[in-house]
Amino acid sequence: MEGCVLLNAALHLLQTSIQAVMDAAIHLAAGPGRYSGVPRALRELGVLREEDAGGSAAP
């Protein structure tokens, strides 16, 4: 039982750590609270192709 509790605690810590990194990346790439700008920012960085980022080349 104790092993399950420790495993779940470790998984929760990992998940929240990943979410924090993603939130920081979104903030840096698209500005605070601008989730809609993420595909454009990723396209400009060369991470996404134009058609995968929404298709419009204009910012």
Would you list the domain boundaries of the chain? 2-53
Which tokens belong to 51? 């058609």
58 pLDDT more than 80: no
- Model-level pTM? 0.54
Q: Is 49 left (phi over 0), alpha (psi -120 to 50) or beta?
A: beta
4 pLDDT more than 90: yes
Q: How far apart are CA 1 and CA 6, in angstroms?
A: 9
Nearest to 29 by CA among 21, 38, 17, 20: 38
Q: State phi, psi for 57 to the nearest 5 degrees.
A: -80, -20
- Render pLDDT for 16-51 as a digit per residue (tens, 0 to 9): 999 998 888 887 777 766 777 778 888 888 888 888
